Amino acid sequence: MAKLKVGVLISGRGSNLQALIDACEDESYPAEIALVLSNVADAAGLKRAEAKKIPTKVIDHKAYEDREGFEDAMQEALTAAGVELICLAGFMRLLTEGFVGRWRDRLINIHPSLLPAFRGLNVHDRVLEYGARFSGCTVHFVRAAVDDGPIIAQAVVPVHQDDDADSLAARILTHEHRVYPLVVRLIAQSRVRVTDDLVTVRDPQAPMGTMINPAPE
């Protein structure tokens, strides 16, 4: 059976890219990375891909007069590589409605909060300032608005009283590395369906039990 061809867009270190690379090394995994594309020439994630002989391409957004020109160049590269699903993994460029529309329900993102709460940047600082007892990460289909779109999967972690932004980010990142490959697997297995901007998953395994923070004595 043909594997789903994935394009991963990065701007930095590529830790979620590495999680996807690791997942794809399992021969039974139903997806493969066809292209890693970055807008930053020295993004560390490119070296992760090159080490595994995964095709890479740099398209510098600053070389284009507008976002549409930049996105047309990305579209050409992604199409040439046969990409069927795009994964945003620390890609620090806002995408236009036109590009998002071309890839509707074939473009996913991971965000380090429990969306729709705490969209945007500086998420962990804001979680702590608000006093939230739980945080986590969300994988969702991308829509034109920032950190918006149908939610596919989430992972929840407790916020500790002595957390700072770095310790909370590290706890969440561990689960980002689990949930992103899971979502790609579900999509590759045709188990994810979007209807009226709501996602259903065929044969989901819902967790049992409840977490309370602080925990009852």
- Give this prediction's pTM: 0.96
Which residues have a catalytic role annotated? 111
Query: What whole-number percentage of the chain has pLDDT above 70?
Result: 100
Q: What tens digit of pLDDT does each residue of 55-88 get?
A: 999 999 999 999 999 999 999 999 999 999 999 9
Domain residue extents for the chain: 4-198
Q: What tens digit of pLDDT does each residue of 148-171 get?
A: 999 999 999 999 999 999 999 999
Check whether 1 has a pLDDT greater than 90. Answer: no
Quick one: residue 70, left, alpha or beta (phi over 0 = left, psi -120 to 50 = alpha)? Answer: alpha
Average pLDDT in the chain? 97
- Choose between 199 and 1: higher pLDDT: 199
Q: What tens digit of pLDDT does each residue of 23-34 get?
A: 999 999 999 999
Q: What's the burial of 126, exposed, middle or buried (CB within 10 Å: 0-12/13-18/19+)?
A: middle
Question: In the CATH hierarchy, which top-level class contains the domain 4-198?
Answer: alpha beta
